Structure 1
Amino acid sequence: MRNKKGWAMLLIGVLLMGLLAGCGGKTASSANEGQGTDNSKAPSSGDPVKLTMWGGVPPEAGPQEVIDAWNAEHPDIQVEYVRYVNDDDGNLKLDTAMITGQDVDLFVNYTLSQTSKRVESNLALDLSQFDDYNIDEKMGPDAEGWKINGKYYGMPTTKSAFFVALNKDALDAAGLPVPKDWTWDELREYAKKLKVGNNYGFIQNMEPFVDPIDSVLSQEGYTKADGTSNLDHPLVKKWLETLNVMMKEDKTTPPLGEQLTSKMPVEQVFLSGEVPMLNIGAWLLRSSNNFTDFPRDFTIAFAQVPRLTDSADSYVTRGGLGDYISINAKSKKQAEAWEFLKWYADGGMAPMAAGGRLPASKDADQDEALNNLLGDKKDTYDLDSLMHVMFEDKTPTYVRSLPQEVMDMRAQEYEKYFLNAQSLDQTLEAMVSRHNTFLKEGK
């Protein structure tokens, strides 16, 4: 998430809202003239309440089926789904829509970093005002990681899994077992053995690209005991070195510059059989179940994301719960939005499992979700490894919570390293220096 214009544009939006608010001579109707229907107004007697929900999943991958089911059962509260792309521009579009009073009643957050920004901007409603649903009891202890200042400003609704997807046919041909517990050094060796010709042995979706660093620092601390940056931790250095060698010496994974400039469609590349290992999240299944657009003739297996440490004792992996759904603090229909959110979390979201999104609530029908997850493609997956990664693995998890500004800064510096614009030592020094400046400014 490296959009340098994002929050600057957002601030411009805030200023514009201030100017509009200062136009005291305008009536409500004249101020809204030319802006379309004002969904913030209470409906006339007898009219259904209209809710608008924004999320990052394509409608056809589950959300529309969920919305259609709700609308059929609740003629008095009708929901419309609006898709935004979960990238810099898409998140800016969502934030701007809320700040400028457009139709947003519920919205899905995909990282705690984005959520925190929205809480600071008073865009997410504090859910503690509702006392008829116990999020901790329903979702279990992993929900705790989504609290901000001890409160829920949204509800985590899915079991969030990140993994390395594997072409099992390629592994079998190379005589390699499906790993359950492995390191990045071992993944590097797998990539060498699986590389065929000029093809790569391993590719990554950019969303979980940096997770190995956060796996370490979420436990060791992003700052040291003296309060200074810990971004030069030895395992941060190891991650950088390992990937750099894989990119430039082994040539088993694409150079970062190539991947970014080409906008490599990593899911398509993996599902075509071109590259046998892909670091990604459970959303892969919405594509891997789609044989129309992504035909494949191999079995997919699953492995835990590898660790940087030799010992598994202190290892944590990204996961736990996700799809944190908030109610817009400016919505005039918060009670209705809350009713929909409870229904969604407790089972209404079942069709989302087809895209890899399993419900987190203990009251959701998990058998139904599993059936939706696999559909009629059950025989195209290695079920033992899928069940291990999705349901049985007891490795502790973390939720990424690093401030967005630090994530952006960190990415800017490690990209320079992978692009040969600065050395490893210069990269670590620059990350630490910029992080320390951020920490000082925040005091």
Structure 2
Amino acid sequence: MKKKRWIAGITSLVLTMGLMAGCSGNGNSSSPAPNNESASGKAGSPVTLKMWGGVPPESGPQEVIDTWNKEHPEIQVEYVRFVNDDDGNLKLDTAMITGQDVDLFVNYTVSHTTKRVESNLALDLSSFTDYNIDEKMGPDAESWKIDGKYYGVPTTKSSYFIALNKDALDAANLPVPKDWTWDELREYAKKLKVGDNYGFIQNMEPFVDPLDSVLSQEGYTKADGTSNLDQPLVRKWLETLNIMMKEDKTTPALGEQLTSKMPVEQVFLSGDVPMLNIGAWLLRSSNNFTDFPRDFKIAFAQVPRLGDSAEKYVTRGGLGDYISINAKSKKQAEAWEFLKWYADGGMAPMAAGGRLPASKDANQEDALNNLLGDKKDTYDLDSLMHVMFEDTTPTYVRSLPQEVMDLRAQEYEKYFLGSQSIDQTIDAMTTRHESYLKQNK
């Protein structure tokens, strides 16, 4: 409780300071120098940029930085890692508001980006006219615009999938699925379950994606302005997972997973559980045979849909790793030069951690080689290529406000923990959502 109160207090302070910053003056004090000229220090001395990101430095960022620094002695970059969770994002926001060294930073959700824009922390990039983000990144970049403007550059193609133990599938005589439903995944989990082990586990980051795959298309609110969190497929998702947790015992109870902080990547790569819901960052661990030795091939499948209609299905994906320039930075011109280089191919070593460059001008062959390294033979290449490169299923980027994400999670956690019924859960979610909507008209 003490930790929660402390975080709440700091969050309140961050938001208050952000609002004060947004209300003071006209916000132009942090704009680029005229003609985007450098605002650097002493003549002849290198400019040092600080870039904050959530990927461990050894999983690509350090190699990217080292390459840039070798080629650009006049602009040196240092990488600062923050953990991409609530505490880590709060640390980044606090650093920017209190004037610590942050020149570039990576946003991992639209909701985080929006809050930073509202707090005048992310620079409007429209002042730079030498790089066309729409042309470079394609139509999917549009989902990152805020009020019609770019406050960052989306740099990666995002992939979310079910990773499968191909050897376990073969032993159970199960094909690698391409187009499937959550009911079919449930049957796979029952057939793949061995002894007391589970058949399926999930990383908590994409845990709720099935709901957003439905509601991002149908709307989080109905035509009359009331909450759509009682949409029938929301109930379907809740009930399916609850049965898998409590009756089938093919996936861990949510309470067990949260309290144990289950290392799901390690559990999957050790061979104990044959199916894992996760994103492309799995590859930074699956390529690491020193810490995660394995003796099976990994196959890939699309995250299953809740409904029966494949035509209406969208999956989470699109573009990600939205890199912004700090609106308070005095080195915006230099940061822009680095950001363009990074987006157009400098980021290729990031593919080793599953982050494929989105720019049409990036060398995709280099990225694929970095993605697989010398572990190519340990993957089912047909399914990998299908999920990461060939699948044409429409995608969405999660943009639901964090407050709604939180209230929704608080209520479905009570259901999975057994402290309220399915009807009580849906009623609570919709009531709280409608209260939020009224307060934020």
Partner in structure 2 of residue 318 of structure 1: 316
Question: Partners in 2 of 1:421 and 1:92 — Cα distance?
Answer: 30
Give the alignment partner of residue 277 of structure 1, picking from 262, 267, 275: 275
Query: Structure 1 residues 6, 125: CA separation in 2 closer, same or farther (over 3 Å shift)?
Result: farther
Partner in structure 1 of residue 406 of structure 2: 408
Give runs of aligned pairs for residues 345-384 of structure 1, distance below 5 A.
345-384=343-382
Deviation at residue 12 of structure 1 after TM alignment: 2.0
Partner in structure 1 of residue 13 of structure 2: 12
Deviation at residue 179 of structure 1 after TM alignment: 0.1
Question: Partners in 1 of 2:222 and 2:160 — Cα distance?
Answer: 28
1:305 aligns with 2:306: no
Deviation at residue 16 of structure 1 after TM alignment: 7.3
Question: Partners in 2 of 1:17 and 1:221 — Cα distance?
Answer: 30
Partner in structure 2 of residue 31 of structure 1: none
The gaps in structure 2 that reach 5 residues or longer are 22-37
Partner in structure 2 of residue 262 of structure 1: 260
Partner in structure 1 of residue 332 of structure 2: 334
Task: Give CA deviations for 1:151-172 in whole Å, capped at 9, x if unaligned.
Answer: 1111100000000000000000
Deviation at residue 270 of structure 1 after TM alignment: 0.1
TM-score for both structures, normalised by structure 2 = 0.94
Partner in structure 2 of residue 393 of structure 1: 391
Give runs of aligned pairs for residues 234-253 of structure 1, distance below 5 A.
234-253=232-251
Give the alignment partner of residue 118 of structure 1, picking from 116, 119, 142: 116
Q: Name the Cα RMSD after superposition.
A: 1.7
Deviation at residue 407 of structure 1 after TM alignment: 0.3
1:104 aligns with 2:102: yes
AA of the residue aligned to 2:156: T
Question: Partners in 2 of 1:322 and 1:3 — Cα distance?
Answer: 29
Deviation at residue 45 of structure 1 after TM alignment: 1.8
1:176 aligns with 2:177: no
**What is the number of equivalent residue pairs in this alignment?**
423
Question: Partners in 1 of 2:114 and 2:19 — Cα distance?
Answer: 23
Partner in structure 2 of residue 24 of structure 1: none
Partner in structure 2 of residue 89 of structure 1: 87
The gaps in structure 1 that reach 5 residues or longer are 21-39
AA of the residue aligned to 1:191: A
Find runs of 4+ consecutive structure 1 residues off by over 4 angstroms.
Answer: 2-7, 13-20
Contact 2:53/2:82 (CA < 8 Å) preserved in 1?
yes
Question: Partners in 1 of 2:151 and 2:420 — Cα distance?
Answer: 40
Question: Partners in 2 of 1:4 and 1:180 — Cα distance?
Answer: 45
Deviates more, 1:250-259 or 1:143-152: 143-152
Q: Percent identity?
A: 83
The alignment partner of 2:64 has SS state of helix
Deviation at residue 10 of structure 1 after TM alignment: 2.9
Question: Partners in 2 of 1:303 and 1:19 — Cα distance?
Answer: 47
Query: Structure 1 residues 18, 303: CA separation in 2 closer, same or farther (over 3 Å shift)?
Result: closer
Query: Structure 1 residues 78, 61: CA separation in 2 closer, same or farther (over 3 Å shift)?
Result: same
Question: Partners in 1 of 2:4 and 2:362 — Cα distance?
Answer: 37
Question: Partners in 2 of 1:187 and 1:248 — Cα distance?
Answer: 16
Query: Structure 1 residues 4, 352: CA separation in 2 closer, same or farther (over 3 Å shift)?
Result: farther
